């Protein structure tokens, strides 16, 4: 029993990374001007709109991510009905990735419905009607209810942060490299949304953090089940 309990301990460092990264995002959103600096650089004052307002790349990217997610979910269902000749760690990873594709996008969207944070295009600074407020500041009572935190429009990409689990535990360096690539892909999708003025940079960071936290919980849950099986 003691040996099994050791197997389900929290992976070293992951919880600390999640905590420190959350603190960093809070600091950026509340004590720096990074959001405004990035948004200002993307806003064309002469035309009165953001640089990527007419871009159609986001829709194509979201469609591609939806197809990839559907393929992973289909593979997980197939493996459940007719088990593939995989190691137990690969099977657990497949389940986590499939559940991430199912749960991450709606979870981020649901959390956004509880926020009152405006998007850049809603702000007076960029031709809208709302005042700007930092993360921990209270909006005026006259402000309209918004739902722009965390970023929802590019959240379809963040479930891919679970893909590095296929490399564990045998190839941790490859898992780290793949995690970096998936993070860059998600940030690129979020960047496109920022070019359209629909998200701030920290909104994208929060959606990435929430996705990573959910994936971490799912991975820990399946590790515990495997250890106690």
- Show pLDDT as tens, one digit a residue, over the chain (229 residues): 334 434 334 455 788 899 999 999 999 999 999 999 999 999 998 888 898 766 666 667 778 888 999 999 999 999 989 888 777 778 889 999 999 999 999 999 999 888 888 899 999 999 998 888 888 887 777 667 677 889 887 778 899 999 999 998 888 999 999 999 999 989 988 898 899 898 999 999 999 999 999 999 999 888 766 555 5
Answer for the pair 137, 131: CB distance below 8 angstroms, yes or no. Answer: no
Q: Which residues of 23-48 are buried (b: 16+ CB within 10 A; e: fewer)?
A: eebeebbeeeeebbebbeebbeeeee
Note the pLDDT of residue 1.
38
Note the pLDDT of residue 6.
40
């Amino acid at each position: 029993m003691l040996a099994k309990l050791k197997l389900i301990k929290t992976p070293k460092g992951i919880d600390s990374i999640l905590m420190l990264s959350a603190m960093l995002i809070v600091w950026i959103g509340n004590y720096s001007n990074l959001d405004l600096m990035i948004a200002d650089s993307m806003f064309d004052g002469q035309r009165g709109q953001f640089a990527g307002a007419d871009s159609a790349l986001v829709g194509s990217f979201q469609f591609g991510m939806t197809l990839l997610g559907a393929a992973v979910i289909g593979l997980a269902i197939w493996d459940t009905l007719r088990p593939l000749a995989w190691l137990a760690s690969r099977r657990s990873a497949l389940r986590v990735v499939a559940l991430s594709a199912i749960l991450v996008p709606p979870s981020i969207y649901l959390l956004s419905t509880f926020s009152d944070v405006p998007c850049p295009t809603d702000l007076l600074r960029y031709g809208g009607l709302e005042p700007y407020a930092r993360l921990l500041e209270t909006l005026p009572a006259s402000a309209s209810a918004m739902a722009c935190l965390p970023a929802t429009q590019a959240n379809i990409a963040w479930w891919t942060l679970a893909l590095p689990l296929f490399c564990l535990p045998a190839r941790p360096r490859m898992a780290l490299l793949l995690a970096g690539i998936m993070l860059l892909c998600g940030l690129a999708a979020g960047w496109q949304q920022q070019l359209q003025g629909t998200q701030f940079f920290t909104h994208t960071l929060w959606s990435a953090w929430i996705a990573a936290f959910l994936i971490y919980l799912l991975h820990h849950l399946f590790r515990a089940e495997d250890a106690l099986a």
